[in-house]
Amino acid sequence: MSNNHPNKTAEEDRTANFYITESYKTIRTNLQFSLAAAEDKKVTAITSYEPNAGKSITTANMAITMAQTGAHVLLIDGDMRNASQHKIFGVTNTNGLSKLLSGLSRPDDTSFFRGVRPNLDLLPAGPTPPNPSELLCSKNMKKLLDALREAYDFIFVDCPPVGVISDTLSLLSNAPNVLIVVRQRQTRHDDIKRSIEKIRAVGGMLLGVVITDVSDSDSPFGGRYGRYGKYGKYGKYGRYGKGDKYSAYTKSGEIHYISNAPSNTQSEVK
């Protein structure tokens, strides 16, 4: 029996985990095709319109899944107002992106966590600075990304919600590729439209959309897999409102959509 779901059998857990893993592999494959047509083939910014869409855990799982191909992957927590990647991977947030961009630390092993998963390194957000938006569009950010492009095959940047603050739009001058995470039954069509308009207005390149919190009934597999629970707490989104919990369920992606991001009680795809 599963410790997290006492009413589920071990076989049901294995089936759910397979479904989740395969869904992220679908996202990975479609992302690789999208990046092949992009000018910048290494850096992808992931955002949402609003908080609590499952953006950060989706970003973490995408980075892990890409690293499973043997590629050298870096995950950057660019959400300096509400850092969460250090919580997902269980590391400290004493040093990180904010200190690097502010010139308070150097890009060495005290800033990065090497091998948080096989082939995956993490650069946490660091302490909250007074000017995150300015730092993300700064010359220091450009220099840092240029250096990291030489060192890594793929770089994922977890960004703040584009509908709440301008930080993500500031980053796009240095990293134009964008994925939008939307949550079914929460994110409105008008919100998606506004997100796309904002991204394109600053020259960003939309790679696709990842849908989270897709109900079992909407899945092509029906309700066979049951609900997988929720990720750990999203925590309070800084000054933007109440926290929530990550949750997401999947179905296959198509055309403009990258895919639909899965979720279960685990902190990441295994």
Domains in the chain: boundaries: 10-260
* Contact predicate 54/262, CB 8 Å: no
Average pLDDT in the 184-213 region? 90
d(CA 199, CA 177): 9
**Phi, psi for 196 (deg, rounded to 5):** -65, -40
267-152-39 Cα angle (round to 5): 105
Longest C-alpha distance within the chain, in Å? Answer: 54
Average pLDDT in the 152-162 region? 96
Work out the percent of the chain whose per-residue pLDDT is above 90: 57
Average pLDDT in the 223-238 region? 32
246: nearest Cα among 46, 64, 60 = 60
Answer whether residue 222 shows pLDDT above 80. Answer: no
Nearest 10 degrees: Cα torsion 264, 234, 232, 108: 100
More reliable by pLDDT, 12 or 236: 12
Residues with Cβ within 8 Å of 28's Cβ and at least 6 positions away in sequence, in order, are 62, 65, 66, 69
Average pLDDT in the 184-204 region? 90
Answer whether residue 177 shows pLDDT above 60. Answer: yes
Q: What is the pLDDT of residues 108-142, one digit of tens each?
A: 767 899 999 999 999 999 999 999 999 999 999 99
Amino acid 217: pLDDT: 52
User: What single-letter DSSP state applies at residue 163?
Assistant: T
Amino acid 246: pLDDT: 27
157: nearest Cα among 170, 7, 196 = 170
Average pLDDT in the 189-212 region? 92
Amino acid 215: pLDDT: 63
Terminal-residue alpha carbon distance, the chain = 19
Q: Could you tell me which residues are beta bridge partners of residue 121?
A: 74
Taking each helix axis as running N to C, give the angle between helix 10-36 and helix 55-67, from 0 to 180 degrees, rounded to the nearest 10: 80
Q: How far is CA 225 from the centre of its chain?
A: 24
Amino acid 176: pLDDT: 94
Q: Helices H, strands E: what count in the chain?
A: 8, 8
Q: State how beta strands 73-77 and 154-158 pair.
A: parallel
Average pLDDT in the 207-230 region? 56
Amino acid 46: pLDDT: 96
Q: What is the pLDDT of residues 7-63, one digit of tens each?
A: 556 655 565 577 778 888 999 999 999 999 899 999 999 999 998 888 999 999 999
CATH superfamily of 10-260: P-loop containing nucleotide triphosphate hydrolases (3.40.50.300)
Total number of residues shown for the chain = 270
Q: What is the pLDDT of residues 93-103, one digit of tens each?
A: 999 999 999 99
